[in-house]
Structure 1
Amino acid sequence: MTSLLARSALSLGGVISSPEQLANQVLEVWREAGLNWKPQARWFPRIPVYLDEVFSLLFEPADGDDIDVILFSDERRSAPLHNIRDFAGGLQVPMIDLGGRAGEFADAHFDLMEPRTWTETARRIIKFRQRRETLAPQYRHTVDPDLQLLAHMYVSGRQLRGMRYPLTPEAVCYPGFMSAGTVVEIAERLVLRGFLKKTFFDRLHECRTCRSRRLSVREECPSCRSADLRETSLIHHFHCAALLPEEQFRQGPALVCPKCKRQMRNYGKDYDRPGNAYVCNTCDTCSSELEVGFVCLDCNARMDGEGAERVDLYSYTLTDGCIAFLGGSTTALATTLPVSLQREIARVQGTINAQAAVAEIRFSEKEALIAGHGRSAFERASDLFFEDVRNRLGGAASLHVGADAAYILAERFDDDLEREIRAVVARAEELLRHRLGAQLTIAQRFGSPAP
């Protein structure tokens, strides 16, 4: 502790005689920044012994979700950072990095020897709390993964922005969020529901064997697919039209055509050099055009250029409707719904002890179908789809068709009815000549519980 105080005093240009004095300086800066309370903090993974004395004066230890901050104190130097939030939790509070290695994976950096980080930490804690207070109460402690992600984006003000990350097989991460393997599936589901908008980030190739995207790209022999190649100059002999690697013409210092056995003396008159080629050291094949191949760095599988699957990666942002939804404004979201559905929702919400839900249907193959067969083919297919769904639902639920999506409202919604609705949608899709790619998600549950 003495060394920490000594280094802090040197950095601050003064003398610090005790942990209390150092803590008081930090607290004074915090008060100037507007942080007037002692933040409730949870440590991840644990509190280092040498920090306990000072940090116990700055933060109030706490567990659970009612905290203001997570203090990240991992002292390892090479551990992956992409999945911190998978284990640390606390998606609606900032993660403060104490070791200085988390970078974009944390929301702020705090260093006892750098006063500028004190202000940054205070402002971040305040910002998260202010944003959390504008979040609708029902979403502050939600356990629904979809809503947790949306609430985290809303409170943190972060986009779900992709970053290349070769330390994981996915080769991508989303700093400040859960690991890519967890968060992308949720984000894609929210895009279909209209809560997120995605933009292209990158395209990678994926191993068919182990699904790793850490692939080595290499040039290969088109005959045997070996990467053991050497480059050589081509020689074109005008007399007999031989076009072969230079090494086949070379006899000591002389050039002798291996086809007609004539010696070639004058460049431009006897021969020319039209370019280069590659000779395979494994099978001796000579080729001017090589193939592209991949080798998986994780499982060592080899595949042709066409054998690796292409994977498009995206970044994600909240839509305006989602922001209004998270803030508790149902009118902003309702403007995207069919008028008939808005009326039914208003009626059901006033019903005592209602257990209603709205399921949303979107067609993932809509654009492809229109591009391949025309809009009329899509309209015919969707009309038949909706007709069959409406007939099969009967009185169990009502169907409402909008401009971009369709909605099923069930007033007595439970697990059995959800399974039945999903089966109805699947059967309606099977009847069609052209697939629509119907995607059904439970968009909202609501009702007024009995007093």
Structure 2
Amino acid sequence: MPAPASAISSVETKRILVAEDSAITQDLLKLVLTQRGHEVDIVNDGKEAFEALSQRDYDVALLDFHLPEMDGVKVASSYRTQFKDRQGPRFVAVTADVEGLLSHEENCEWFDRVVPKPVDISEICKVIDETQESRSENDPSPSSMSKGSESPKTDGSKGIPAVQPAPRTSPLFELDYKYLCYPEDFNAKHLSARALQSSLTQQQFDAILITQATGPEAFAQIWSTKTLHLLPIIDLVGCLTNEADLDCSKLAHDELNKVKDLIEDFHAKRVELHPDLILTDDLGEKIIGRLHVSGRKLTPKYHAGTPSLVKFNLTVPAENVIIEARKLQDSGLLHANFFDRVHVCGSCGSSQFNVREDCPDCHSADLSEQSYLHHFKCAYQGAESDFRQGDHLVCPKCRQELNHFGRDYDKPGTMIRCNSCSHTTSQPDIGFVCLKCSTRTDGDVIQTRDLFSYELSDRGSAFAEAGFAYLGITRTSLRFADLPLDLVIGLNEEAKRYNENGSTFSLLHISYENQREIEREHGPRQFAQIRSQFVENLRTVMNREEASGSSCQTYRGHTYDFAIAGGTQPDALRGQIDHYCREAGKQLRHDIGATIRVFGAEDLS
């Protein structure tokens, strides 16, 4: 939520350039970013932006695409071309014309990120907060590979990886579907214009094709970008094991129905998925959405190359899946089935061990097994090596030579001798030596972890279709992604008045529990009409019944609706909100299932 003007941000201060010709967007970005402790400069056109970038070092440059004098693409490309030796800022395109940006003659790949309008403040803040990590890698090019890795070949001055598309020989390309391809459209650091378009405009591609051998690490961009994780993954080269939804490395013409069925099933299940799960940035919620559209269980498979010793049928590191799945299980959204129990290093969490017998004294694994002798006359017992003198056996205690087995001595058993410290024992220790951090742990104190396969519970399936409203409004917090631009501006204006003179206000968050039911039975248009009428009725009722000096202004969101009630005490309004909700819904054709939660100024800090 927007912070009051007095809020002190704990984030690291960064220099930010905002190039924007809209006064409203300028005010919004400057207000929010300065409240978070950043230093913000505002310019009105592309020429001023280029001059500012030339004269001062910035951490982030937020550029509108359609700037006067010089558009945002030209500003970014001119800077990167003219100042190649500078590290430079992260360039972020902020535009309502995503398709125009993506089809620009210079493309949008001069930018590190693209954020569509209306401005999603949480996305802007996320980009800025990520800047320190990006700059610490000393990576001036948005598409360069990570530090320490081999630099890819590029297609010229832009520094964008030049990838040769794989031959289109599979029968799959005869089908009338649209595909994103690895590595042409994405890798661990880079998204192509087509992939950006899919995530930003929700232009629906039908599947992701793997056309070159790779590992799951290449899929980081899919899971960090909205909507792409909901596409089926089809492996054309056989490099993935159970991470792909379909292995088509040996696809024949008479097997094309497998591809059609997979893609159509994903289409049908995506339609059922609630926007909360489509637009979320939370990995756990993305996993819920992925399991819903794929119709698959979350299944582990043994893999010695991973620290957890397993891989799941997701293109997400197993360690991350385990953490998220456990939280989802605790929330009742996933049902777990036991798979196996593994040992875990207490220092680094890895399950990759060398398990061995070793010395109880020095923990060396340099052990040898030998017989131990019992001298009948003096009762001395010891390792055979202690008795051995050349070809003779001589008791080390009484110095008598032993000549006859069974009369002078016997061999009642064996013992273990450490060749490093000469310690002898009948029972060596079991030691677990971590292959990742080299920590040794005794076998009797080693930690264990149970591994599970998972499937959506009934509660998880309902959450996938109904969104946060199903969990109860108290289970979720407001997110910038759900807030309309004009609401963010209104909230900051109210917060400013609250800090200056104590003028109270309340924020109403409105959700609709019966949305899916009404849309299924009567269509989306019918629900939209009822929703609009409810919001209008609510505004009318509150403006009529609230005390003089108060006012109610409503705002339409993507998934939820909102209202700001100025001059109201939140606690008093909470006592009346059920009455207002009933009054607003009296004349509606269908019960919309409205639920309203009230926030006060103290809740928004």
Following the alignment from structure 1 to structure 2, what is the Cα–Cα distance between the partners of residues 271 and 289? 23
Q: For 1:318, which of 433, 456, 459 is the aligned residue?
A: 456
Give the structure 1 partner of residue 270 of structure 2: 132
Residue 377 (structure 2) pairs with residue 239 (structure 1): yes
Q: For 1:155, which of 290, 293, 301 is the aligned residue?
A: 293
TM-score of the pair, normalised by structure 2: 0.46
Following the alignment from structure 1 to structure 2, what is the Cα–Cα distance between the partners of residues 396 and 302? 61
Asked if 2 retains the 8 angstrom alpha-carbon contact of 1:110 and 1:118, the reply is no
How far has the Cα of 1:69 moved from its partner? 0.2
The 1:415–1:292 alpha-carbon spacing in structure 2 relative to 1, beyond 3 Å, is farther
Residue 207 (structure 2) pairs with residue 69 (structure 1): yes
Asked if 2 retains the 8 angstrom alpha-carbon contact of 1:42 and 1:71, the reply is yes
Residue 224 (structure 2) pairs with residue 86 (structure 1): no
- Code of the aligned partner of 2:331: R
Structure 1 residues 199-232: Cα deviation after superposition (integer angstroms, max 9, x where no partner)? 3333333334443332222211111111111111
Give the structure 2 partner of residue 250 of structure 1: 388
Give the structure 1 partner of residue 320 of structure 2: 182
The number of residues matched between the two structures is 322
How far has the Cα of 1:138 moved from its partner? 4.7
Asked if 2 retains the 8 angstrom alpha-carbon contact of 1:110 and 1:117, the reply is no
Please list, as runs of the form range in 1=range in 2, the aligned pairs for 1:410-421 lying within 5 A after superposition: 411-413=597-599, 417=603
Asked if 1 retains the 8 angstrom alpha-carbon contact of 2:470 and 2:513, the reply is no
Give the structure 2 partner of residue 206 of structure 1: 344
Asked if 1 retains the 8 angstrom alpha-carbon contact of 2:236 and 2:249, the reply is yes
Please list, as runs of the form range in 1=range in 2, the aligned pairs for 1:99-118 lying within 5 A after superposition: 99-111=237-249, 114-115=252-253, 117-118=255-256
How far has the Cα of 1:140 moved from its partner? 3.8
Give the structure 2 partner of residue 360 of structure 1: none
How far has the Cα of 1:254 moved from its partner? 3.6
- Code of the aligned partner of 2:352: R
Give the structure 2 partner of residue 173 of structure 1: 311
Asked if 2 retains the 8 angstrom alpha-carbon contact of 1:177 and 1:183, the reply is no
Structure 1 residues 132-165: Cα deviation after superposition (integer angstroms, max 9, x where no partner)? 2333455344444332211111111221122233
- Code of the aligned partner of 1:262: Q
The 1:258–1:112 alpha-carbon spacing in structure 2 relative to 1, beyond 3 Å, is closer
Unpaired runs of 5+ in structure 1? 1-18, 31-37, 49-58, 338-344, 358-393, 399-408, 420-451
Following the alignment from structure 2 to structure 1, what is the Cα–Cα distance between the partners of residues 315 and 278? 17
Q: For 2:365, which of 227, 238, 250 is the aligned residue?
A: 227
Asked if 2 retains the 8 angstrom alpha-carbon contact of 1:324 and 1:330, the reply is no
SS in 2 for 1:158: coil
Deviates more, 1:188-197 or 1:208-217: 208-217
SS in 2 for 1:411: strand
Following the alignment from structure 1 to structure 2, what is the Cα–Cα distance between the partners of residues 86 and 60? 13
Following the alignment from structure 1 to structure 2, what is the Cα–Cα distance between the partners of residues 188 and 395? 40
- Code of the aligned partner of 2:383: P
Following the alignment from structure 1 to structure 2, what is the Cα–Cα distance between the partners of residues 414 and 295? 55
Give the structure 2 partner of residue 45 of structure 1: 183
SS in 2 for 1:314: strand
How far has the Cα of 1:397 moved from its partner? 9.1
* Aligned-residue CA RMSD (Å): 4.3
How far has the Cα of 1:102 moved from its partner? 1.2
Unpaired runs of 5+ in structure 2? 1-166, 187-193, 476-511, 515-530, 539-553, 561-570, 576-594
Following the alignment from structure 1 to structure 2, what is the Cα–Cα distance between the partners of residues 395 and 240? 96
Following the alignment from structure 1 to structure 2, what is the Cα–Cα distance between the partners of residues 86 and 416? 37
Following the alignment from structure 1 to structure 2, what is the Cα–Cα distance between the partners of residues 284 and 131? 67
The 1:96–1:277 alpha-carbon spacing in structure 2 relative to 1, beyond 3 Å, is same
Give the structure 2 partner of residue 302 of structure 1: 440
Following the alignment from structure 1 to structure 2, what is the Cα–Cα distance between the partners of residues 415 and 204? 49
Following the alignment from structure 2 to structure 1, what is the Cα–Cα distance between the partners of residues 348 and 306? 13
Following the alignment from structure 1 to structure 2, what is the Cα–Cα distance between the partners of residues 98 and 45? 12
Following the alignment from structure 1 to structure 2, what is the Cα–Cα distance between the partners of residues 418 and 69? 40
Asked if 2 retains the 8 angstrom alpha-carbon contact of 1:396 and 1:410, the reply is no
